[in-house]
């Protein structure tokens, strides 16, 4: 992937916190910022897909939302080694 140097203006406290996080992860600050930007773009695509689906099929019901939240919590618990009773 080609890279392009850009200049952005951020609050000083945010830059300091990002620098600490990058150092903790052992990655350059630019890689941490790029990863955050990529995550935001993926979230935007996901929100657009959900909105398009709901435009076509109607809004999700409370039951559907609860089922998805439970499924996501179970997947998180499995991924992070947390017992399911701790999640519930």
pLDDT tens digit sequence for 43-78: 999 999 999 999 999 999 999 999 999 999 999 999
H helix runs in 1-88, sequence order: 12-25, 29-57, 62-80, 84-87
* Cα dihedral sign, 17-23-24-26: positive
Do residue 53 and residue 75 come from a single domain?
Answer: no
Do residue 18 and residue 46 come from a single domain?
Answer: yes
Rounded-to-integer distance, Cα 32 and Cα 81, Å = 25
pLDDT digits (tens, 9 = 90+) for 3-44: 999 999 999 999 999 999 999 999 999 999 999 999 999 999
pLDDT digits (tens, 9 = 90+) for 66-75: 999 999 999 9
The number of folded domains in the chain is 2
pLDDT of residue 86: 56
Rounded-to-integer distance, Cα 37 and Cα 53, Å = 25
pLDDT of residue 82: 78
Other CB atoms within 10 A of residue 59 CB: 10
Do residue 32 and residue 48 come from a single domain?
Answer: yes
In a domain, 7, yes or no: no
- Enclosing domain of residue 29: 13-57
pTM of the model: 0.70
């Amino acid at each position: 992937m080609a890279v392009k140097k850009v200049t952005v203006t951020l609050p000083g406290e945010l830059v300091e916190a990002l620098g600490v996080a990058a150092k903790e992860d052992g990655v350059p600050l630019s890689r941490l910022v790029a990863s955050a930007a990529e995550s935001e773009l993926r979230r935007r695509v996901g929100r657009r897909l959900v909105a398009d689906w709901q435009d076509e099929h109607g809004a999700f019901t409370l039951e559907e939302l609860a089922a998805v939240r439970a499924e996501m919590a179970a997947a998180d618990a499995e991924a992070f080694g947390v017992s399911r009773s701790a999640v519930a």
